[in-house]
A = this chain, B = another copy of it.
Amino acid sequence: MKTEIRFSGLGGQGIITAAVILGRAAALYSKKHVVQTQSYGPEARGGASASAVIISDDPVYYPNVTNPSVYVIMSQEAYNKYGNNAPEDALMLLDPGFVTSRPVCRCFEVPATSEAKSQLGKTVFANVIMLGALLEATGIVTYDALEHAVLDSVPKGTETNNKRALAIGQELVRSQL
């Protein structure tokens, strides 16, 4: 059992942090094997950000993400690059505040950025809202594992808002099930 998840969006949206958190949740708190990769060039400044996580029951020897089955997409540019090629049996979570296209595959619209702003006062929580949505849509890790990994990774004093962010993301998907 092996799942490949690609996070993509804009610099500043916490794309890489989201991937690192999911990797921690899977490896440290769910006894999975994880490879997490990001590749970026000079164009990343103010622009594209992408990171991939491979979660497997067995050790992963080939770290290149080749065929993600789950996509989290937070910009139209990222959609054009990655989302356009998502196969029909993939799953996609996208932020409709940034992405106007819609894929052929199963898709949840997760307005993470606007909900972060309206419910928590800061867009910085959008990536954790997306993780909550991912959790609800896939069950790839347990809630406890993800919460542990989130709380490991965020600044002291933001724990309550980050837990709320997870719950907001879960609810945004649950309402579309």
A39 within 8 A of B: yes
Across the interface, A39 reaches (CB within 8 A) one of B16, B41, B63, B155, namely B63
Contact A20 B23, CB 8 Å, known A28-B44, A63-B64, A155-B156: no
Total interface residues on A, CB under 8 Å, equals 27
Complex Cα spacing A27 to B20, Å: 18
Q: Which residues of B contact A155 (CB under 8 A)?
A: 155-156
CA distance A29 to B42 in the complex (A): 8
Q: How many copies are assembled? A: 2
Q: Which residues of B contact A11 (CB under 8 A)?
A: 28
Q: Residue on B with the closest CB to A37?
A: B37
User: Which residues 24-63 of A have a CB within 8 angstroms of B?
Assistant: 27-29, 31-42, 44-45, 59-60, 63
Q: Which of B35, B36, B44, B63 contacts A27 (CB 8 A)?
A: B44
7 contacts between A and B (CB under 8 A): A20-B20, A23-B40, A28-B42, A28-B44, A29-B45, A36-B37, A39-B60
Which residues of A come within 8 Å of B, CB atoms?
Answer: 11, 16, 20, 23, 27-29, 31-42, 44-45, 59-60, 63-64, 155-156
Q: Would you list the 8 A-B pairs with minimal beta carbon distance, nearest first?
A: A155-B155, A31-B42, A27-B40, A33-B41, A35-B39, A28-B45, A37-B37, A27-B44
